[in-house]
Amino acid sequence: MVKNAAIEALSFEEALGELETIVRTLETGQSPLEQSINAYERGIALKKHCETRLREAQAKIEKIMVGKDGNLSTQPLDESE
């Protein structure tokens, strides 16, 4: 985990790990108010970053199709399947 790193530079796993740490810390209620507010704000930004990374990954998912001629191709994954 990379604390105080630019959120955009974090991988999904790093951002999620830091978010989990923030949640555990806030749940204890032991942090001073200002520190809790700052952690909460960073947590919101980390959550948004994770959601963006997940959407990007989902957009890249494709299904492999085998044509009648036996050739392989890909097309976007249909979420209804």
Confidence (pTM): 0.70
Residue 81 is assigned to a structural domain of this protein = no
Residue 9 exposed, middle or buried by CB count within 10 Å (0-12, 13-18, 19+): exposed
How many domains are there within the chain? 1
> pLDDT for 31-59, tens place per residue?
999 999 999 999 999 999 999 999 888 77
- 78 compared with 22, residue with greater pLDDT: 22
In-domain check, residue 50:
yes
CA-CA-CA-CA dihedral for 14, 33, 31, 20, to nearest 10: -20
**Is the residue at 2 inside a domain?**
no
CATH of the domain at 71: 1.10.287
In a domain, 72, yes or no: yes
Q: How confident is the model at residue 1 (pLDDT cuts 50, 70, 90)?
A: very low
Residue 20 inside a domain? The answer is yes
Residue 1 within a domain: no
Summary mean pLDDT of the chain: 86
- Residue 56 host element (H or E): helix 33-60
Could you write out the three-class secondary structure of 9-38? HCCHHHHHHHHHHHHHHHHHCCCCHHHHHH
